[in-house]
Amino acid sequence: MTRRKFLQTLAAFSSLSLTGCGWRLADVRATTQSSRSDQLYLYTWEQYSDQKLLQTFSTQTGVKVLVDIYGSNEVMLAKILAGGGGAYSVIYPSDYMVQKMVEKNLLAKLDHNRLIGLDNLLPQFKNPSYDPNNTYSLPFNWGTTGLIYNSEILKQAPEDWDYCWQNRERLYKRMTLLDDVREVMGAVLRMLGYSYNSKDEDELKQAYKKLQELKPAIASFNTDAWQNQLLAGDLVLAMGYSADAIKIIKENPKFKYVIPRSGSSLWTDTIVLPNTAPNLDGAYAWINFILQPEVAAMISKNLNISTPNSAGFELLPKKLKDNKNLFPEISLLEKCERITPLGDFEEVYQRYWDRLTSSN
Protein backbone atom coordinates (compact mmCIF):
# COMPACT_ATOMS: atom_id res chain seq x y z
CA MET A 1 0.00 0.00 0.00
CA THR A 2 1.77 3.17 -1.17
CA ARG A 3 1.57 5.86 1.37
CA ARG A 4 1.67 9.64 1.52
CA LYS A 5 4.29 11.73 -0.21
CA PHE A 6 4.06 15.24 1.18
CA LEU A 7 7.56 16.67 0.82
CA GLN A 8 8.16 19.53 3.22
CA THR A 9 11.13 20.44 5.33
CA LEU A 10 11.28 20.78 9.09
CA ALA A 11 13.37 23.92 9.17
CA ALA A 12 12.30 24.53 12.73
CA PHE A 13 14.14 21.42 13.81
CA SER A 14 17.49 22.97 12.99
CA SER A 15 17.19 25.10 16.09
CA LEU A 16 15.21 22.64 18.19
CA SER A 17 16.74 22.06 21.61
CA LEU A 18 16.16 18.46 22.56
CA THR A 19 17.15 19.05 26.15
CA GLY A 20 14.46 21.71 26.21
CA CYS A 21 11.96 19.03 25.16
CA GLY A 22 12.46 17.14 28.39
CA TRP A 23 14.59 14.59 26.54
CA ARG A 24 17.93 14.18 28.26
CA LEU A 25 20.78 14.02 25.80
CA ALA A 26 23.02 12.27 28.33
CA ASP A 27 20.61 9.33 28.46
CA VAL A 28 20.83 8.83 24.72
CA ARG A 29 24.61 9.14 24.57
CA ALA A 30 24.91 6.64 27.41
CA THR A 31 22.81 4.08 25.57
CA THR A 32 24.50 4.55 22.21
CA GLN A 33 28.06 4.31 23.55
CA SER A 34 27.64 0.58 24.07
CA SER A 35 26.56 0.00 20.48
CA ARG A 36 28.95 -1.54 18.01
CA SER A 37 28.04 1.18 15.53
CA ASP A 38 27.57 4.92 15.61
CA GLN A 39 25.32 4.62 12.58
CA LEU A 40 21.57 4.06 12.50
CA TYR A 41 19.92 2.79 9.32
CA LEU A 42 16.24 3.56 8.74
CA TYR A 43 14.02 2.02 6.07
CA THR A 44 11.07 4.34 5.64
CA TRP A 45 8.68 6.33 3.46
CA GLU A 46 10.05 9.38 1.69
CA GLN A 47 7.96 11.83 3.71
CA TYR A 48 9.50 10.55 6.93
CA SER A 49 13.11 10.99 5.82
CA ASP A 50 13.34 14.74 6.36
CA GLN A 51 16.98 15.73 6.45
CA LYS A 52 16.57 18.47 9.07
CA LEU A 53 15.02 16.02 11.50
CA LEU A 54 17.70 13.41 10.84
CA GLN A 55 20.48 15.96 11.13
CA THR A 56 19.18 17.26 14.43
CA PHE A 57 19.11 13.78 15.93
CA SER A 58 22.60 13.06 14.61
CA THR A 59 24.03 16.33 15.87
CA GLN A 60 22.62 15.85 19.34
CA THR A 61 23.51 12.16 19.76
CA GLY A 62 26.58 11.59 17.61
CA VAL A 63 24.67 8.84 15.80
CA LYS A 64 24.67 9.28 12.02
CA VAL A 65 21.30 8.40 10.51
CA LEU A 66 21.26 6.80 7.05
CA VAL A 67 18.00 6.30 5.19
CA ASP A 68 16.71 4.01 2.46
CA ILE A 69 13.33 4.77 0.90
CA TYR A 70 10.52 2.49 -0.23
CA GLY A 71 7.29 3.35 -2.02
CA SER A 72 5.08 0.50 -0.85
CA ASN A 73 4.78 -1.95 2.01
CA GLU A 74 5.03 -4.82 -0.43
CA VAL A 75 8.36 -3.60 -1.85
CA MET A 76 9.72 -3.26 1.68
CA LEU A 77 8.57 -6.74 2.68
CA ALA A 78 10.02 -8.33 -0.45
CA LYS A 79 13.41 -6.78 0.28
CA ILE A 80 13.41 -7.94 3.89
CA LEU A 81 12.37 -11.47 2.90
CA ALA A 82 15.11 -11.57 0.28
CA GLY A 83 17.68 -10.87 2.99
CA GLY A 84 18.34 -7.29 1.93
CA GLY A 85 17.36 -5.65 5.21
CA GLY A 86 20.13 -6.74 7.55
CA ALA A 87 21.50 -3.22 8.02
CA TYR A 88 18.21 -1.66 9.13
CA SER A 89 17.49 -0.99 12.78
CA VAL A 90 14.16 0.83 12.29
CA ILE A 91 11.41 0.26 9.70
CA TYR A 92 8.10 2.11 9.19
CA PRO A 93 5.46 -0.41 7.98
CA SER A 94 1.76 0.36 7.84
CA ASP A 95 -0.57 -1.33 10.30
CA TYR A 96 -1.64 -4.34 8.23
CA MET A 97 1.97 -5.02 7.26
CA VAL A 98 2.95 -5.24 10.93
CA GLN A 99 0.68 -8.29 11.18
CA LYS A 100 2.29 -9.88 8.14
CA MET A 101 5.79 -9.23 9.44
CA VAL A 102 4.94 -10.72 12.84
CA GLU A 103 3.51 -13.82 11.17
CA LYS A 104 6.76 -14.20 9.24
CA ASN A 105 8.84 -13.75 12.42
CA LEU A 106 10.59 -10.66 11.08
CA LEU A 107 10.14 -8.32 14.05
CA ALA A 108 11.67 -8.02 17.49
CA LYS A 109 9.42 -7.49 20.49
CA LEU A 110 9.70 -4.00 21.93
CA ASP A 111 11.23 -3.68 25.38
CA HIS A 112 8.78 -1.26 26.95
CA ASN A 113 11.18 -0.70 29.84
CA ARG A 114 13.51 1.08 27.42
CA LEU A 115 10.81 3.42 26.10
CA ILE A 116 10.07 6.86 27.51
CA GLY A 117 6.64 8.33 26.79
CA LEU A 118 4.39 5.35 26.07
CA ASP A 119 1.74 6.89 28.32
CA ASN A 120 1.55 9.82 25.91
CA LEU A 121 -0.17 7.71 23.24
CA LEU A 122 -3.88 8.21 22.63
CA PRO A 123 -5.95 5.32 24.07
CA GLN A 124 -6.92 3.90 20.66
CA PHE A 125 -3.24 3.46 19.79
CA LYS A 126 -2.16 1.74 23.01
CA ASN A 127 -3.72 -1.62 22.19
CA PRO A 128 -4.42 -1.64 18.44
CA SER A 129 -6.06 -4.63 16.79
CA TYR A 130 -3.13 -5.09 14.42
CA ASP A 131 -0.63 -5.31 17.31
CA PRO A 132 -2.16 -5.98 20.76
CA ASN A 133 -0.42 -4.11 23.57
CA ASN A 134 2.05 -2.56 21.09
CA THR A 135 4.12 -5.71 21.37
CA TYR A 136 6.00 -5.10 18.14
CA SER A 137 5.16 -1.56 16.99
CA LEU A 138 4.47 2.01 17.98
CA PRO A 139 2.26 4.38 15.95
CA PHE A 140 3.94 7.26 14.14
CA ASN A 141 1.19 8.78 12.01
CA TRP A 142 -2.43 8.00 11.14
CA GLY A 143 -5.04 9.14 8.67
CA THR A 144 -7.84 8.28 6.28
CA THR A 145 -8.41 7.75 2.57
CA GLY A 146 -10.86 9.93 0.67
CA LEU A 147 -11.48 12.27 -2.26
CA ILE A 148 -9.58 15.49 -2.97
CA TYR A 149 -11.33 17.85 -5.38
CA ASN A 150 -11.19 21.33 -6.94
CA SER A 151 -14.06 23.22 -5.31
CA GLU A 152 -13.93 26.04 -7.90
CA ILE A 153 -14.83 23.60 -10.66
CA LEU A 154 -16.86 21.05 -8.74
CA LYS A 155 -19.31 23.31 -6.92
CA GLN A 156 -21.21 20.39 -5.42
CA ALA A 157 -18.97 18.60 -2.96
CA PRO A 158 -18.65 14.82 -3.31
CA GLU A 159 -20.39 13.04 -0.46
CA ASP A 160 -19.65 9.42 -1.28
CA TRP A 161 -17.67 7.22 -3.64
CA ASP A 162 -20.64 6.98 -6.02
CA TYR A 163 -20.02 10.63 -6.98
CA CYS A 164 -17.41 9.34 -9.44
CA TRP A 165 -19.95 7.18 -11.22
CA GLN A 166 -22.75 9.77 -11.16
CA ASN A 167 -20.43 12.43 -12.65
CA ARG A 168 -18.17 10.32 -14.83
CA GLU A 169 -18.93 12.28 -18.01
CA ARG A 170 -17.95 15.54 -16.35
CA LEU A 171 -14.93 13.91 -14.72
CA TYR A 172 -13.88 12.07 -17.88
CA LYS A 173 -10.08 11.68 -17.85
CA ARG A 174 -9.84 14.28 -15.08
CA MET A 175 -9.95 11.97 -12.10
CA THR A 176 -7.56 9.36 -10.71
CA LEU A 177 -7.78 6.45 -8.31
CA LEU A 178 -4.97 5.09 -6.19
CA ASP A 179 -2.69 2.45 -7.62
CA ASP A 180 -3.59 0.19 -4.73
CA VAL A 181 -5.72 -2.92 -5.02
CA ARG A 182 -6.91 -3.03 -1.41
CA GLU A 183 -7.75 0.67 -1.25
CA VAL A 184 -9.61 0.87 -4.55
CA MET A 185 -11.42 -2.45 -4.26
CA GLY A 186 -12.11 -1.69 -0.61
CA ALA A 187 -13.67 1.70 -1.37
CA VAL A 188 -16.04 0.21 -3.95
CA LEU A 189 -16.91 -2.66 -1.62
CA ARG A 190 -17.74 -0.11 1.06
CA MET A 191 -19.85 1.89 -1.41
CA LEU A 192 -21.81 -1.30 -2.13
CA GLY A 193 -22.41 -1.85 1.57
CA TYR A 194 -19.73 -4.48 2.11
CA SER A 195 -16.59 -4.61 4.20
CA TYR A 196 -13.27 -3.15 3.03
CA ASN A 197 -11.90 -6.57 3.95
CA SER A 198 -14.52 -8.76 2.28
CA LYS A 199 -13.58 -12.38 1.62
CA ASP A 200 -16.69 -13.04 -0.45
CA GLU A 201 -15.72 -13.46 -4.09
CA ASP A 202 -19.23 -12.57 -5.29
CA GLU A 203 -18.96 -9.23 -3.51
CA LEU A 204 -15.51 -8.70 -4.97
CA LYS A 205 -16.82 -9.48 -8.44
CA GLN A 206 -19.54 -6.84 -8.00
CA ALA A 207 -16.87 -4.27 -7.09
CA TYR A 208 -14.81 -5.29 -10.12
CA LYS A 209 -17.78 -4.80 -12.46
CA LYS A 210 -18.43 -1.33 -11.00
CA LEU A 211 -14.82 -0.40 -11.62
CA GLN A 212 -15.07 -1.73 -15.16
CA GLU A 213 -17.89 0.76 -15.74
CA LEU A 214 -15.80 3.62 -14.42
CA LYS A 215 -12.43 2.77 -15.92
CA PRO A 216 -12.90 4.52 -19.32
CA ALA A 217 -13.32 7.82 -17.44
CA ILE A 218 -10.28 7.33 -15.18
CA ALA A 219 -7.15 9.23 -16.23
CA SER A 220 -4.90 6.79 -14.40
CA PHE A 221 -4.32 4.70 -11.32
CA ASN A 222 -1.56 6.45 -9.40
CA THR A 223 -0.62 7.20 -5.84
CA ASP A 224 1.66 10.22 -6.14
CA ALA A 225 1.61 11.81 -9.59
CA TRP A 226 -1.95 13.07 -9.12
CA GLN A 227 -0.77 15.78 -6.74
CA ASN A 228 1.07 17.84 -9.35
CA GLN A 229 -1.63 17.09 -11.90
CA LEU A 230 -4.30 18.40 -9.56
CA LEU A 231 -2.34 21.56 -8.79
CA ALA A 232 -1.69 22.10 -12.51
CA GLY A 233 -5.39 21.84 -13.34
CA ASP A 234 -5.15 18.62 -15.33
CA LEU A 235 -7.29 16.84 -12.76
CA VAL A 236 -10.29 18.01 -10.77
CA LEU A 237 -10.67 15.01 -8.46
CA ALA A 238 -8.38 12.33 -7.05
CA MET A 239 -8.60 9.50 -4.59
CA GLY A 240 -5.85 9.99 -2.04
CA TYR A 241 -4.67 9.92 1.52
CA SER A 242 -5.57 12.61 4.04
CA ALA A 243 -1.94 13.57 4.63
CA ASP A 244 -1.44 14.31 0.93
CA ALA A 245 -4.74 16.16 0.76
CA ILE A 246 -3.79 18.41 3.66
CA LYS A 247 -0.54 19.30 1.94
CA ILE A 248 -2.40 20.18 -1.27
CA ILE A 249 -4.97 22.28 0.60
CA LYS A 250 -2.20 24.18 2.34
CA GLU A 251 -0.77 25.09 -1.07
CA ASN A 252 -4.16 26.15 -2.44
CA PRO A 253 -7.35 26.34 -0.31
CA LYS A 254 -9.59 25.83 -3.35
CA PHE A 255 -8.90 22.12 -2.95
CA LYS A 256 -11.03 20.24 -0.43
CA TYR A 257 -10.95 16.79 1.12
CA VAL A 258 -13.87 14.57 2.08
CA ILE A 259 -14.18 11.20 3.76
CA PRO A 260 -16.99 9.40 1.88
CA ARG A 261 -20.07 8.96 4.05
CA SER A 262 -20.30 5.20 3.45
CA GLY A 263 -16.86 4.83 4.98
CA SER A 264 -13.25 4.50 4.00
CA SER A 265 -9.97 3.11 5.29
CA LEU A 266 -8.27 4.16 8.50
CA TRP A 267 -4.52 3.66 8.37
CA THR A 268 -1.60 3.93 10.75
CA ASP A 269 2.08 4.04 9.88
CA THR A 270 4.22 2.54 12.61
CA ILE A 271 7.77 2.16 13.86
CA VAL A 272 9.16 -1.36 14.32
CA LEU A 273 12.48 -3.04 14.99
CA PRO A 274 13.46 -5.94 12.71
CA ASN A 275 14.77 -8.97 14.58
CA THR A 276 18.10 -8.49 12.78
CA ALA A 277 18.52 -4.87 13.96
CA PRO A 278 22.28 -4.22 14.39
CA ASN A 279 22.03 -1.07 16.54
CA LEU A 280 19.25 -1.49 19.07
CA ASP A 281 20.60 1.25 21.34
CA GLY A 282 20.41 3.79 18.55
CA ALA A 283 16.98 2.50 17.56
CA TYR A 284 15.55 2.97 21.03
CA ALA A 285 17.12 6.43 21.22
CA TRP A 286 15.37 7.31 17.94
CA ILE A 287 12.00 6.05 19.17
CA ASN A 288 12.30 7.94 22.46
CA PHE A 289 13.12 11.06 20.48
CA ILE A 290 9.92 10.65 18.42
CA LEU A 291 7.82 9.97 21.54
CA GLN A 292 8.62 13.34 23.12
CA PRO A 293 5.47 15.52 23.14
CA GLU A 294 7.28 18.61 21.86
CA VAL A 295 8.87 16.66 19.03
CA ALA A 296 5.58 14.94 18.15
CA ALA A 297 3.80 18.30 18.07
CA MET A 298 6.54 19.86 15.95
CA ILE A 299 6.34 17.03 13.42
CA SER A 300 2.54 17.24 13.29
CA LYS A 301 2.59 21.00 12.87
CA ASN A 302 5.27 21.19 10.20
CA LEU A 303 4.32 18.12 8.20
CA ASN A 304 0.56 18.43 8.73
CA ILE A 305 0.20 14.86 9.96
CA SER A 306 -2.15 13.44 12.59
CA THR A 307 -0.17 12.64 15.69
CA PRO A 308 -1.15 9.65 17.86
CA ASN A 309 0.59 11.36 20.79
CA SER A 310 -2.00 12.82 23.18
CA ALA A 311 0.53 15.04 24.96
CA GLY A 312 1.80 16.24 21.59
CA PHE A 313 -1.78 16.91 20.45
CA GLU A 314 -2.35 19.18 23.45
CA LEU A 315 0.62 21.30 22.37
CA LEU A 316 -0.83 21.95 18.91
CA PRO A 317 -2.40 25.33 18.09
CA LYS A 318 -6.21 25.37 18.20
CA LYS A 319 -6.39 25.75 14.42
CA LEU A 320 -4.74 22.36 13.94
CA LYS A 321 -6.70 20.67 16.72
CA ASP A 322 -9.92 21.78 15.03
CA ASN A 323 -8.80 20.69 11.56
CA LYS A 324 -11.27 17.93 10.65
CA ASN A 325 -9.04 16.67 7.87
CA LEU A 326 -6.33 15.97 10.44
CA PHE A 327 -8.65 14.87 13.24
CA PRO A 328 -12.03 13.79 11.78
CA GLU A 329 -15.31 13.51 13.64
CA ILE A 330 -15.73 10.28 15.58
CA SER A 331 -18.98 9.58 13.70
CA LEU A 332 -17.04 9.41 10.44
CA LEU A 333 -14.18 7.39 11.86
CA GLU A 334 -16.64 4.80 13.13
CA LYS A 335 -17.55 4.04 9.50
CA CYS A 336 -13.92 3.53 8.53
CA GLU A 337 -12.09 0.20 8.62
CA ARG A 338 -8.50 -0.82 8.92
CA ILE A 339 -7.20 -2.86 6.03
CA THR A 340 -6.34 -6.31 7.36
CA PRO A 341 -4.34 -9.17 5.81
CA LEU A 342 -6.59 -11.69 4.05
CA GLY A 343 -4.18 -14.57 3.63
CA ASP A 344 -4.55 -16.57 0.44
CA PHE A 345 -7.67 -14.61 -0.50
CA GLU A 346 -5.47 -11.66 -1.39
CA GLU A 347 -4.64 -13.58 -4.55
CA VAL A 348 -8.29 -13.22 -5.58
CA TYR A 349 -8.07 -9.45 -5.13
CA GLN A 350 -4.89 -9.38 -7.17
CA ARG A 351 -6.43 -11.43 -9.96
CA TYR A 352 -9.32 -9.02 -10.39
CA TRP A 353 -6.98 -6.04 -10.07
CA ASP A 354 -4.64 -7.32 -12.76
CA ARG A 355 -7.60 -7.90 -15.03
CA LEU A 356 -8.88 -4.38 -14.40
CA THR A 357 -5.62 -2.49 -14.80
CA SER A 358 -4.36 -4.45 -17.79
CA SER A 359 -7.54 -4.11 -19.87
CA ASN A 360 -7.97 -1.26 -22.36
For the cut 80, the answer to whether the pLDDT of residue 360 exceeds it is no
Of residues 214 and 3, the one with the higher pLDDT is 214
pTM of the model: 0.79
Per DSSP (E only), the strands in 158-236 are: 175-177, 218-221
Instruction: Taking residues 237-252, report their average pLDDT.
Output: 92
pLDDT at 355: 96
Could you check whether 11-142+269-321 and 143-266+329-358 share the same CATH topology?
Answer: yes
Cα 178 from Cα 17, distance rounded (Å): 39
Cα 294 from Cα 133, distance rounded (Å): 24
Q: Between the CA of residue 21 and those of 104, 288, 314, what are the distances in Å?
A: 37, 11, 14
277 Cβ partners below 8 Å, 6+ apart? 88, 89, 90, 108, 283
Q: What is the pLDDT of residues 17-55, one digit of tens each?
A: 333 333 333 334 433 443 446 899 999 987 777 777 788
pLDDT at 231: 95
For the cut 70, the answer to whether the pLDDT of residue 194 exceeds it is yes
Containing 98, the helix (H) or strand (E) segment is helix 95-103
Q: In terms of Cα–Cα distance, which of 173, 78, 73, 178 is closest to 130?
A: 73
Q: In terms of Cα–Cα distance, which of 39, 88, 29 is closest to 60?
A: 29
For the cut 80, the answer to whether the pLDDT of residue 255 exceeds it is yes
Contact 301, 250 (CB under 8 A): no
Contact 73, 48 (CB under 8 A): no
Domain coordinates in residue numbering, the chain: 11-142+269-321, 143-266+329-358
Mean pLDDT of the chain: 87
The highest-level CATH class for domain 11-142+269-321 is alpha beta
Instruction: Taking residues 93-120, report their average pLDDT.
Output: 95
Q: In terms of Cα–Cα distance, which of 160, 177, 158 is closest to 216?
A: 177
For the cut 70, the answer to whether the pLDDT of residue 119 exceeds it is yes
For the cut 70, the answer to whether the pLDDT of residue 1 exceeds it is no
Q: What is the pLDDT of residues 47-99, one digit of tens each?
A: 777 777 788 888 888 999 999 998 788 889 999 999 988 999 999 999 999 99
Q: In terms of Cα–Cα distance, which of 207, 247, 206 is closest to 228?
A: 247
Q: What is the pLDDT of residues 144-173, one digit of tens each?
A: 999 999 999 999 999 999 999 999 999 999
143-266+329-358: CATH, from 3.40.50.1100, 2.60.120.560, 3.40.50.300, 3.40.190.10 = 3.40.190.10
Instruction: Taking residues 292-316, report their average pLDDT.
Output: 90
SS3 137: strand
